[in-house]
Amino acid sequence: MEINLHIYNSLSRQKEKFIPINPPYVGMYVCGPTVYGPPHLGHARPYITFDVLRRYLEYLGLKVRYVRNITDVGHLENDLDEGEDKIAKKARLEQLEPMEVVELYTRQFHEAMHLLNNKPVSIEPRASGHIIEQIEMIEQIIKNGYAYVSNGSVYFDVEKYAQSNAYGELSGRVLEELIAGAGEARRTLDGQDEKRNRADFALWKKASPEHIMRWNSPWSVGFPGWHIECSAMGTKYLGETFDIHGGGMDLLFPHHEAEIAQSKACHHKAPVKYWMHCNMITIEGQKMGKSLGNFINLEQFFTGSHPKLTQAYSPMAIRFFMLQAHYRSTLDFSNEGLQAAEKALQKILQAYPLIHKIKVSDNSNHNNIQKLLDNCLEALNDDLNTAIVLSNIFEAVRIINSAYNEQLQITQTDKDILQKIFDDIFFGILGLCGQTENNTDNISNELMSLIIELRKEAKDNKNYALSDSIRNKLNAIGIELKDTKEGTEWKKI
């Protein structure tokens, strides 16, 4: 299959045609969670986005190695190498071992990803399991002259690097401004006097006596910096240069900027061909995140147990809500938006089983159903525009309903294309599903089948009073029956 995919490259700030480095193989690295708390709505967006990208690349016939790390050490509370390790702090507060914290929230993360119907990644390395690789990379950066040891810690020399490289090429930050701004804001903080320059970042930190997580290194007993982890793991599993690196917009600086600098300083080549970034989830116009204390975790969405939620929302409603907006646009949370997504999803799912019931004709009086499928693929090729894909699927739903009600004639070829739009695009690439596999839904279906059968018996026996009573009572609790030539169907209203 010809690849016409164009994606927005944050590095070049423009859309570029996607050409794999080593076709048909694609290497994709996405920054994973720092597992010190339950997964929240802000986590859902990038992982849904890159799951859709992975699915589409596979649909195009490419073989994707999708690497997403688990950060379980080294991510400090502040991007300026200040404060306590986030996981160690949580462990101290909860009186747990750090790895107990890691295991608890990693399991919760995996469960949430499964409920959101994200496919398992190819490799999920942990930072704590790759200390050797990180130390080796730091040693090479020091050898190449781009890092220095200070009081047992190792810092990346940003100013030295910038003499022959474009530091800030990804984020657009200007080094002089970073240095000037840091100078104005300079405070007396633990370890900051170790740096030659405020803009320098830690590759290795010497552990203070109370620091729980620590490893031996050539420089001190300590722990790796946050940025070096992804560089080392990306290199190990995808090579010194790979196709796609993804993450949230909040990682663009300093994390991804630092990754580029470290990798170039070590290997003398750019680590990534295409950088992709999702925009933020906001709540009442403010970024949602743990550090701001305004986040709603995914379990609270699934159960409705948060003051800002008016009801529980299914994982598929959340996935649908995300995909209604382009991944590079901001997305503001609202109950109204999620409720609309839930209803729209149900409308689409209710249309799907009608496809095989449509009576076909030798002639079609619809202009071009093939165009809907072409539009979906064209939108996916245009930087993964899932919003336009869904608008075309809504048009397909309108056609299905009209053809089912015999208000429109379609051919068998048209019917096959409608089936393909659902099977390949809606369920396959977008990863949306009805989630009818759980026991509650199965029991509901069986109960409704039994009630419909009892009502049919009442009608056959001319007991119309009982038949009408069953219909009216179901209607009162939000279930509508519809009698058709093929039998009685039901839906929630």
For residue 11, give both structure tokens.
Answer: 């590095």
Average pLDDT, rounded, for the chain: 90
Rounded CA gap, 118 and 167, in Å? 34
Rounded CA gap, 186 and 320, in Å? 45
Burial class (CB in 10 A: 0-12, 13-18, 19+), 216: exposed
The predicted-structure confidence for 260-299, as pLDDT tens digits, reads as follows 999 999 999 999 999 999 998 888 777 776 666 677 899 9
Q: Are 154 and 148 in contact (CB under 8 A)?
A: yes
414-426 burial, b at 16+ Cβ within 10 Å, e below that, comes to bbebbebbbeebb
The predicted-structure confidence for 310-345, as pLDDT tens digits, reads as follows 999 999 999 999 999 999 999 998 899 999 999 999
Structure confidence at residue 78 (pLDDT): 65
Structure confidence at residue 168 (pLDDT): 93
Residue reference for tokens 């781009």 = 146
For residue 81, give both structure tokens.
Answer: 């190498």
Least confident piece of the model among 36-45, 303-312, 334-343, 361-370: 361-370
Beta pairing partners, 487: 484
Structure confidence at residue 446 (pLDDT): 66
Rounded CA gap, 285 and 139, in Å? 44
- Better-scored residue on pLDDT, 190 or 21: 21
Q: Are 380 and 327 in contact (CB under 8 A)?
A: no
Structure confidence at residue 439 (pLDDT): 40
Instruction: Tell me the average pLDDT across 357-385.
Output: 92
Structure confidence at residue 92 (pLDDT): 86
Structure confidence at residue 325 (pLDDT): 97
The predicted-structure confidence for 441-478, as pLDDT tens digits, reads as follows 545 666 887 888 889 888 888 898 898 889 888 888 87
At a CB cut-off of 8 Å and minimum separation 6, what does 26 contact? 20, 57, 62, 63, 64, 65, 243, 244
Burial class (CB in 10 A: 0-12, 13-18, 19+), 411: middle
Residue 71 phi, psi dihedral angles, 5° rounding: -85, 110
* Strand boundaries in 255-330, DSSP class E: 272-278, 281-283, 286-287
pTM: 0.86
The predicted-structure confidence for 19-39, as pLDDT tens digits, reads as follows 999 999 999 999 999 999 999
Query: What proportion of the chain, given as a percentage, has pLDDT over 70?
Result: 91
